[in-house]
Amino acid sequence: MRLRSLYSRISLTFAALILLFGGMCGGLDLVAAKNHQQEIIQKLSRGLAEHIASHWPLANAGSIDHKAVSELFHMLMVVNPSVEFYLLDSQGGILAFDAPPGRVRLKQVALAPINAFLAGAPLPLKGDNPRNPGSREIFSAAPLRVQGEKVGYLYIVLVGDAYQSLAEDVWQGHVFQLAMGAGAGALLLTLVAGLALFAAITRRLDALTRTIAAFDDPGTGGALQLDPRLRQSADEIGQLAAAFTRMTERITAQMRHIKSQDEQRREMVANVSHDLRTPLTSMQGYLETLLRKSDRLSAAEQHQYLQVAVRQSQRVAHLAQELFELAKLECEEVRPNVERFSVQELIQDVAQKFELTASHKRVKISANFLQHIPLVYADIAMIERVLTNLIDNALRYTPEGGEIRIELSRADASGVWVKVSDTGSGIAEEHLPSLFQRDSPLRQSPGRTRGGLGLLITQRILQLHGSTIEALSGQGHGAIFTFSLPTTAPA
């Protein structure tokens, strides 16, 4: 048993408390028993001195009859050797006693306890012991009167030297040893029961500690194997085990999420590297061709090569800008600057930006609003970016003669639905669940559609606004993107 363990500390503390408590209770019981015994003896012998003083003449012709006193005291001490008799004067001075020379070492007894005894004070009362000046013992006393005048006191020590000698030998007595054995057995039984109870309690704590240590061990992979005994209890240890289980489940889920995000970032970096490699290689090839063959190319060919290089550099710049924007949104460097505005006017402005491009492709952009659409609370620049991404995607993949529709409707008393749909080729049903994820198959397929970083940026912007975006599509029937904006100010 390690001294640093909780069980060893509790056990040692409990054992010390048991011993201390047993010693205190034993001492208090012994003192209480002794005082109770003395109280009983003094109550039983309260009238002893009065009885002797009234039935045996201790004074003769106004003086003490020492011979009669000595004979009486000797007879009484033979009958009851535990008591000692003393004859006192009116000031407490010792006049007569029956004891060997030198045994009585006091010449006077204090009268205050005697007066209290005669006045009926509560017992036990203790007075001076003439044979032992340093101790006080229970007594019985009565005044001595001659012709009605008090001439002294009869003072009886009820527990004399003989009694004290026998009382000291009681430690070796059978009854006392039996009582001590019973008390020690009770304390030992209590100690064993307490240690067993503490072992049962700390065993569960040890099991929980081992579980936590195992969870921290890299070799276990964070797998939690909780002791069944911990699940069956509803006390504090059971609640602690349940809380730890919930905590480990959350930590495990968060670790899986972080790992998944890390893997997605790696895949995105690989995909972006591939995306960058193609325009960079093309741009590098055209520029190297211009550099090597500038004297053999016509002005028209040189212009064509430069146009291709510029377009590729624009693609690289656009992709780099999207990466930078997505990184800022994901690390929460950007916060929405919420303001109240008309989403109808914003849609009209964004649609107007694409009118020239749409007319070149012969694609119609129409905006349909219900009447009385309320103002919304959002970051107008971020929502403009969302609409731009969605309309740009729709315009890119809507064939000539197609249509892009933007619709507004009331979601409920606190929101407005925005829907952007097109008449393009649509998105396969199996790709919809992962459309807004980094590892979307659309980003990894050649000639991918609707799988760029624009949708990730759109989703993150709406998440910052407490909203979500949904995609609905049937391949060959166009794509539909919907999201909501609040009409009430955020808390």
Q: What is the pLDDT of residues 290-301, one digit of tens each?
A: 888 877 778 888
Are 152 and 139 contacting, i.e. CB atoms less than 8 angstroms apart? no
Give 472's strand partners.
Answer: 480
Give 150's strand partners.
Answer: 145
| 333-380 residue pLDDT tens | 678 899 999 999 999 999 999 999 899 899 999 988 877 888 999 999
Label each residue of the chain as H, E or C. CCCCCHHHHHHHHHHHHHHHHHHHHHHHHHHHHHHHHHHHHHHHCCCHHHHHHHHCCCEECCEECHHHHHHHHHHHHHHCCCCEEEEEECCCEEEEECCCCCCCCCCECCCHHHHHHHCCCCCCCEEEECCEEEEEEEEEEEEEEECCEEEEEEEEECCCHHHHHHHHHHHHCHHHHHHHHHHHHHHHHHHHHHHHHHHHHHHHHHHHHHHHHHHHCHHHCCCCCCCHHHHCCCCHHHHHHHHHHHHHHHHHHHHHHHHHHHHHHHHHHHHHHHHHHHHHHHHHHHHHHHHHHCCCCCHHHHHHHHHHHHHHHHHHHHHHHHHHHHHHHHCCCCCCCCEEECHHHHHHHHHHHCHHHHHHHCCEEEEEECCCCCCEEECHHHHHHHHHHHHHHHHHCCCCCCEEEEEEEEEECCEEEEEEEECCCCCCHHHCCCCCCCCCHHHHCCCCCCCCHHHHHHHHHHHHCCCCEEEEECCCCCEEEEEEEECCCCC
Give 469's strand partners.
Answer: 483
Amino acid identity for residue 397 in this structure: Y
| pLDDT of the residue at 350 | 92
| pLDDT of the residue at 390 | 92
| 420-453 residue pLDDT tens | 999 888 887 777 776 776 656 665 554 444 446 7
Residue scoring higher pLDDT (401 or 437): 401
Torsional class of 447: left (φ above 0), alpha (ψ -120 to 50), beta (otherwise): left
Tokens standing for 450?
């609707």
Residue with tokens 């001294």: 3
CA distances (Å), origin 318, targets 212, 269, 334, 442: 49, 16, 19, 19
| 245-287 residue pLDDT tens | 788 888 888 888 888 777 767 766 776 676 677 778 878 887 8
CA atoms within 13 A on the CB side of 345: 8
Amino acid identity for residue 135 in this structure: S
pTM of the model: 0.47
| 10-27 residue pLDDT tens | 778 878 888 888 788 877
41 pLDDT exceeds 80?
A: yes
Q: What is the mean pLDDT of residues 393-397?
A: 88
| 46-94 residue pLDDT tens | 888 888 878 776 666 556 666 667 777 777 777 677 788 888 888 889 8
